[in-house]
Amino acid sequence: MRALVYEAPHAMPMRDIPVPTIQPDEVLIRVAYSGICGSELSGYVGKNALRKPPLIMGHEFSGWIEAIGSAVTRSDLRVEMEVTANPLLSCGQCAYCLAGRQNLCPDRKLLSASLPGSNAEYVAVRASTLHALPADMPLTTGALVEPAACALRAAKLAQPTPERAALVVGAGPIGLLTIQALKDRGSKTIYAADTNPRRLEMAASLGATPVALDDIRKSVDIAIDAVGVPAVRAGCVAATRSGGRVVWVGLHDANATLDVNDLIRREIESVGSFAYTALDFADALHALAEGRLGLPIAWTLIEPLERGAACFEALIDGASTAKIWLQP
């Protein structure tokens, strides 16, 4: 099969490799669309410790069932069914998994990090992670479930209420979906900050008020960092009122300097939001199906898989496209 293989920073050529051999509990998916995630951009430039070459990236995807493993017992699965899959695999037996917090499983594995991902013609996934797509759902929308689940998780941890003002920093796909998820959970006042004017226009069209991060100080009850760089992290703290909450989503840089004494004295809650639980993933599929979350077609782009490296470079250079899907 053809696959886009990350081999070194800024080097991700097309290669011909064997089609995955599925394990008895796995299903082989013929990929329809594979989205580019911001965490993969940091991996592509060599800043993500989880992504080591050689590696097939891609974990936001949809496609058709091509083959079903011999030990799969799910009677609802059939060849050619349109599906997406939760790419975050957990052990299912630890205390975190049993409590429904699979994203914190110490043995978790992610497609496109510790396992081959979906930037290829085929990808092998555990059958238990599959979700059938509604009959009327476009396959591009099916490939949006994973980032939508991240946004739902962040909005849930933010604990919004109608009277609590919220700020989302970063109007990329996660940020735009998070704005919608906050509104869905009752937020009335939402601000958005981004250095890209086009993306701020997108946020405004969703009902958020564009602001400059440097201009907002102790003004919001909730700040959500969907970028993950030091200046944004410090800016989120500065923007938050005493007694407020900051939710960290962005993973771009590993380190940042924060005034911890300020966090203590102003009793600002600091909450990490990593990926999603199995329930978040299922809820994201329902929210997309019902139109409560989504990205307008005009904000997205479909490109052939062989242009993958060029698309990564364009996004790193600041392209305003909200989501690029690669098509094998």
Q: How far apart are CA 206 and CA 37, in angstroms?
A: 21
- Mapping DSSP to helix (H, G, I), strand (E, B) and coil, where does residue 281 land? helix
- At 63-111, the pLDDT tens digits run 999 999 999 999 999 999 999 999 999 999 999 999 999 999 999 999 9
pLDDT value for 253: 78
37: buried, middle or exposed (CB in 10 Å: 19+, 13-18, 0-12)? buried
Amino acid occupying residue 4: L
pTM for the predicted model, two decimal places? 0.95
Q: Which domains occur in the chain, in start order?
A: 2-144+295-327 (3.90.180.10), 150-272 (3.40.50.720)
Residue with tokens 């602001």: 211
Asked if residue 163 has pLDDT above 90, the reply is yes
- At 253-288, the pLDDT tens digits run 788 889 999 999 999 999 999 999 999 999 999 999
- Residue 165 has phi, psi (to 5 degrees) of -75, 140
pLDDT value for 50: 81
Distances (CA, A) of 153 to 42, 97, 120, 204, 290: 21, 16, 28, 22, 18
